[in-house]
Amino acid sequence: MTDLDQRPSSAAGAGAAAPLLRRAAPALLVYAGVRALGLAVLAAWCAATGKSPHTLLTARWDSLWYTRVADHGYGWQVRLPNGDVHSNLAFFPLLPWLERLVSAVSPLSYADAGLVVSWVASLAAAWGIFAVAAHVYGRRAGVCAVALWAVLPVGIVQSMAYSESLFTALAAWSLYAVVTRRWVTAGLLASFAGLTRPVGAAVVAAVWVAAAALVRRERRADWRLVLGVVLAPLGAAGYVLWVGHRTGGGLFGYLDVQKGWGNGFDGGLAFARFIGDKFTSFPSALAGIGLIVGVALVVWLYVLCVRRGQPLPLLVYCGIVVALALCAQGYFGSKPRLLLPAFPLLLPVAVALARLRTSRSAAVLGVVAAASAVYGAFWLNGSGPP
C-alpha cells in the first residue's frame, strides 16, 4: 500500500508541522556543496583551457534561445542550409518570462537573470525531491535522493541557464502536493510545469491518474480535486494552442515547429539506429556498448521502482519522462539531460544508501561527486548539452 492509498498519517502530520526548511536543511547543504564543487572544478578547467565558465553557463546552446525570447519575444528563427527551420517557438515561455522579470527588478542581463533563476530553482528542486522522498521513504532516503540527483554525470546542467532545474522544481513540488492530497496546489504547479517544457505533460498525467485512482476508490470527488484536475493542463495546452494559432498549424502547429528541429516521437527507432551505427568501428563500438548499458540501467531502475511499489503518480510521471527522453528522435546527445527530471528513478538507490552507515554513504557519494564534477567540466568544455 502506497502513501497515496492512505490519509496522511500522524507521522506525516508531525513532519508537516515542523519547519519544512529546517527539516530539509541537511539535504540542501549537501546539494549546495556538490554544486559548488562542480562549479569550482569547471572554473579551474576553464582557467586551463582559456574559456569563460560564465559563457559556458549562460550564453551557449539553449541558453541563447531563452535569452533571445526574453529580449525580443517570439518569432525569431534560423533557416539551415538543408531547409530545416529552427524557430524559437520550440522553447516554452516560463523561463524567459522569469528572466525578464528578474532583469526588470535588478541590474542583471537576461543571461545572468536566467542563471539566477536556474540556481534558485535548483535549490527548490532539491527541496522538492527531498520532500517527496522523505514523505514516501523517510528523511535519510530524502537526503540521499537529493545527493544522488546532485551527483548525476550531467548534474552541471542544474547550474546552467537552462529550464531543467525550473521544471524539476515545479514537477517535484506538484508530485509532493499530489501524494499529500493538496490538489489545487498540484494543479497550479502542473500548469506552470506545462509552461516550462513539453514534458510538462508528464506532470499533468500524474495529477490526472492519481485523481482518477482516488475517485474510483472513494467514489467521490470534492471541489479541490476537480479544480486541481482542471488547472493542471492549462499551461501546456494554452501555449501549444497559441503556437498553433500563431503558425496557422492548428492543433499540430507545435509539432510542426518541433519537426523543423528534427524532433519527433518514433518509439526509439532513430535512437536504436544511432546506437547501431556506433558498432561500425572499434572505438565507437565502446560508446555503443556504453549507451546500451545506460539505457538498460534506466529501464532496470524503472522496473525496480514498479516492483518496490512506488506511488502511482511518481511511476506515471517518471515513466512518461523516460519514454519521451528515450523514444524521441533527434539530438541524441541530449538524452542524459532530458532524463534529469526523472528523479523517481533514484529513489531505490537512495533507499539502499540510507540503510548504510552515514560514513559509508558519504564516502560513496563523495567519490561520485568528484567524478561528476570532473565530467561536467570536461563535457561543457567539449560538446556540451545541445
Q: Per residue in 328-341, pLDDT tens? A: 887 777 899 999 99
Per-residue pLDDT tens over the stretch 221-258 = 899 999 999 999 999 999 999 999 999 999 889 999 99
Does residue 152 contact residue 372 with C-beta atoms inside 8 Å?
Answer: yes
Does residue 174 contact residue 194 with C-beta atoms inside 8 Å?
Answer: no
- How confident is the model over 171-181, as a mean pLDDT? 97
Residue 20, pLDDT score: 79
Residue 6, pLDDT score: 40
Q: Among the listed ranges 5-14, 18-27, 99-108, 264-273, which one has the minimum average pLDDT value?
A: 5-14
Does residue 205 contact residue 317 with C-beta atoms inside 8 Å?
Answer: yes
Does residue 271 contact residue 323 with C-beta atoms inside 8 Å?
Answer: no
Residue 155, pLDDT score: 96
Beta strands in the chain (DSSP E): 77-79, 85-87, 264-265, 328-329
pTM of the model as a whole = 0.94
pLDDT value at 138 more than 60 = yes
Per-residue pLDDT tens over the stretch 269-305 = 989 998 998 898 888 889 899 999 999 999 999 999 9
Cα separation, 245 vs 87, in Å, equals 15
Cα separation, 148 vs 354, in Å, equals 11
**Averaged pLDDT score across all residues of the chain:** 93
Cα separation, 42 vs 25, in Å, equals 26
- How confident is the model over 156-171, as a mean pLDDT? 97
Q: Is 106 exposed, middle or buried (0-12, 13-18, 19+ CB in 10 A)?
A: exposed
Residue 18, pLDDT score: 56
Percent share of the chain, pLDDT over 70: 95
- Joined together, the cell numbers standing for residue 100 give 525578464
Residue 330, pLDDT score: 75
pLDDT value at 17 more than 90 = no
List b or e across 75-89, with b for residues whose CB sees 16 or more CB atoms inside 10 angstroms. eeeeeeeeeeebbbb
Which residues face 265 on adjacent strands? 328
pLDDT value at 83 more than 60 = yes
